[in-house]
Amino acid sequence: MKIKTDKQKAKQLQPFHFKKGKSGNPKGRPPKNRCIPDILKKITDEQIAGDESKLYQILNEVVNRALAGDNWCIQFIADRMEGRPSQVVQNQSEELPSGFTTTII
């Protein structure tokens, strides 16, 4: 096996070196992937008929199903209008499970 010298390595890599005064990333950073809420917001903001958006039509359907007695729709509306109640978790033992810490405010 032949061992390359520093000059040979430099000569081999020379075509790949950045040119002086030119960016190594001319296209810039690629755009980040948009998250699901952003995509849903864009889709639901689209207008369908007249001034109604897709979001308006979806929520109108949820209300209609709630009026028809669909429990999931009723719970969905209640959670959005009133907020979910906070849940208290009680621990009977004196020790905390691993990974938990206490903070006194």
Q: What is the pLDDT of residues 33-68, one digit of tens each?
A: 778 888 888 888 888 877 888 888 999 999 999 999
Angle between helices 54-67 and 71-82 (to 10 degrees): 120
Q: What pLDDT, on the 0 to 100 scale, is given for residue 15? A: 62
Q: Which residues contact 45 (CB under 8 A, 6 or more apart)?
A: 53, 54, 55
Residue 75 corresponds to which tokens in the numbers above?
């719970």
82: pLDDT confidence band, cut at 50, 70 and 90?
confident
pLDDT above 80: residue 1:
no
Written as six digits, the tokens of 77 are 């509306």
CA distance 90 to 29: 48
> CA nearest 59: which of 39, 37, 38, 76?
76
The pLDDT of residue 105 is 65
Question: Where do the domains of the chain lie?
Answer: 34-82
The confidence score (pLDDT) of residue 91 equals 65
Tell me the pTM: 0.47
Q: Are 44 and 34 in contact (CB under 8 A)?
A: no
